[in-house]
Amino acid sequence: MSFITGVGLTSFGRHEGASTLDLMSRAAELAIADAGLQRDEIDGVLCGYSTVQPHIMLATVFAEHFGITPCYAHAVQVGGATGLAMTMLAHIIVQAGMAKHVLVVSGENRLTGQSRDAAIQALAQVGHPSYEMPLGPTIPAYYGLVASRYMHEYKITEEDLAEFAVLMRSHAADHPGAQFRDRISVADVMASKPVASPLKLLDCCPVSDGGAAFVISRERTGETGVRIRGCAQAHTHQYVTTIPDFDRMGAAISLQRASAQSGLSIADVRYAGIYDSFTITLAMLLEELGLAGRGEAAARVRSGYFSRDGAVPLNTHGGLLSYGHCGVGGAMAHLVEMQLQMTGRAGGRQVKDAGIALLHGDGGVLSSHVSMFLERVR
């Protein structure tokens, strides 16, 4: 058994003069205080990678910088799925008795600390070194290819994809830490700059500075506990040219495994935090996870199903598409928001029922998947 006992999140956007370690430290300090702990009570540290500070021992570099001496320290690298993969590992570590309180932390000054060309080159490394990278594609280009195929298969339109960007922006409008808070329309998305057909600028997450952290503990420390009921992974491919089955990318597999472990199903879910690097990412994952039928997720958005007062509120902080994306910490913000919702601390964003939640992370080009069920315990 494990609990998410504390969370910390910086605003996302531009943090001039703040390094990767600075942003990690800010988020970590918030999470530890939120858990009601002192720094010396943290006996495990897991951190994500940083493209701005690609140190081969980032976990111990951070521990020294932050002033702690954990008995367990480890850095993890699974692309956008890293945040949930670290959460799963922390869950295993505390269950095994190897640590009592594990700090999961990541942050990056990707917006102010890295040039545009350097960021593009770093992220393009997910492509095959012989068959994809020499052709010059970027991450948006890979997802543009996937979007074109998916739209053809399931008769989805560009306007359908735009609905997800509009929803995320409407949620971010009420979060003071979001990078983009101005509301947008489908027409705004359609009129935005082309990036990688059919994806346009507002179909893509921004580049951000920011940090996120949380504490995974063996026992709950607050009045309301958020318990990890079950979590699992699936890794079906790495490269976009080797996708084995367009109808089963890996999300359904990790969900099935997490469901078996937790005893919960998609029908039990009352809140969802789903990875949304692009509008197509969110559409495909919602449908593969069973939160909508194939080709039907956009219609559910239009109906209000995923709105704050809908049947399954989704990414109520604005997700990667509007809160922002600072690398590993971007997806970790989904878990921070979920914990706040489950403990009734989301303020004006609070949903009516977040008793059972589903989190799902995606790394690479829908390559690595982590699904996690959580429940509120009073």
Q: State residue 216's pLDDT score.
A: 98
Count of positions (residues) in the chain: 378
What is the residue whose two structure tokens read 């570099």? 61
Give the per-residue pLDDT at 118.
80
Please tell me the distance from the alpha carbon of residue 350 to that of residue 342, in angstroms, as a whole number: 9
Assess if residue 172 is contained within a domain.
Answer: no
pLDDT tens by residue, 322-355? 999 999 999 999 999 999 999 999 999 999 999 9
What's the pLDDT tens digit per position in 246-265?
A: 778 899 999 999 999 999 99
Residue 158's pLDDT is what? 98
- State the total domains in the chain: 1
- How large is the average pLDDT for residues 297-314? 98
CA distance 15 to 21: 12
- Cβ atoms within 10 A of the Cβ of 332, count? 31
pLDDT for the residue 127? 87
pLDDT exceeds cutoff 90 at 185: yes
Task: Answer yes or no: is 59 within a domain.
Answer: yes
- Element of type H or E holding 271: strand 271-274
State whether residue 345 is helix, strand or coil.
coil
Percent of the chain whose pLDDT exceeds 90: 88
Residue 76's DSSP bridge partners are: 48
d(CA 28, CA 214): 7
Residue 89's pLDDT is what?
98
Contact of 276 with 320, CB cutoff 8 Å: yes
Region 154-168 average pLDDT: 97
| pLDDT at residue number 223 | 80
pLDDT of residue 378: 85
- Residue 274's pLDDT is 98
- The boundaries of the domain holding residue 83 are 3-114+208-217
Of 82-86, 88-92, 111-115, 204-208, minimum mean pLDDT range: 111-115
Of the ranges 65-79, 107-121, 235-249, which is most confident? 65-79
Domain presence at residue 359: no
**52-94 confidence digits (pLDDT tens):** 998 999 999 999 999 999 999 999 999 999 999 999 999 999 9
Asked whether the predicted pLDDT for residue 120 surpasses 80, the reply is no
Q: Specify if 107 maps to a domain.
A: yes
Amino acid at residue number 114: Q
Asked, for residue 170, whether it belongs to a domain, the answer is no
With the CA atoms of 244, 368, 111 and 86 taken in that order, what torsion angle do they form, in degrees rounded to the nearest 10? 180
Rounded CA-CA distance 361/369 in Å is: 6
Instruction: Look up residue 163 and give its two tokens.
Output: 């609905």
Q: The domain spanning residue 23 has which CATH number?
A: 3.40.47.10
> Would residue 104 count as lying in a domain?
yes
83 in a structural domain: yes
Is 149 a member of any domain? no
Q: What is the mean pLDDT of the chain?
A: 95
Q: Output phi, psi for 192, to 5 deg.
A: -75, 160
